[in-house]
Amino acid sequence: MNIPTPHIEAKVDEIAKTVLMPGDPLRAKFIAENYLEDVKCFNQVRNMLGFTGTYKGKRVSVMGSGMGMPSIGIYSYELFNFYDVDNIIRIGSAGGMADDIKLRDIVIGMGASTNSNYAVQYQLPGTFAPIADFGLLRKAVEAAERLNIKTVVGNVLSSDPFYNDNDETNALWKKMNVLCVEMEAAALYMNAARAGKKALGIFTISDHVFTGEALSSEDRQNTFRDMMEIALEVAYEQ
């Protein structure tokens, strides 16, 4: 028995088969308090809050991932491999890169390019392409359509550095039609692939890398609700 783990104190059957994963543990708390019923907190280790409740009668969990691929790599690995979670849906903010990506747009990450060496551990004889589960992706698009929420589907960048010393980096990724930049999806997608599980990333554009535009904290809270509701609808259908 591998549970509790060093990072998650939940007991057997305290975590649902589908987990929503924002980076910020306080956003996990917000979702639990505003969208779930019969909520129970299953994790407080390192203040990485995790909750299980029901959404429209369906059991769903939500837990913070922290920032960056090493952090989500740990939590998603333990959820997939030790707690037998089947689906993880990352819900987070991202910086727009493409010219036609605007503030408040919701991007669904079909693929996650990366500048990380995370895949080196697999000793593959080539370059691995981290991609989302198509079933989860299709349900997210359909849920957004039902909710009358516009989404854009495409490639995102999962970056290790937040402050990059190379000023040309973002422009180079933009030339390859990468829609936005975030910091976690590639590791999540790789962990899911290795474990034979399913993963998806849904992102709200909170700022734009090239225009300098950015949402206020109030705008972020209101806009992020759309992303949360899409993810909850996908979780409900699992």
Instruction: Output the six-digit token pair for 80.
Output: 């997939």
H or E stretch at 194: helix 185-195
- Is 161:181 a contact under the CB 8 Å cutoff? no
Distance separating alpha carbons of residues 151 and 142, to the nearest angstrom = 10
Residues 6+ apart with CB under 8 A from 138: none
Local structure of 30: helix, strand or coil: helix
Of the candidates 84, 86, 207, 219, the residue annotated as catalytic is 207
Residues 6+ apart with CB under 8 A from 19: 60, 61, 62, 63, 79, 85, 87, 88, 89
165 is catalytic: no
Regarding beta strands 87-96 and 106-114, do their DSSP bridges make them parallel or antiparallel, or are they unpaired? Answer: unpaired
Quickly count helices (H) and strands (E) in the chain: 6, 9
Q: What positions carry a catalytic annotation?
A: 207
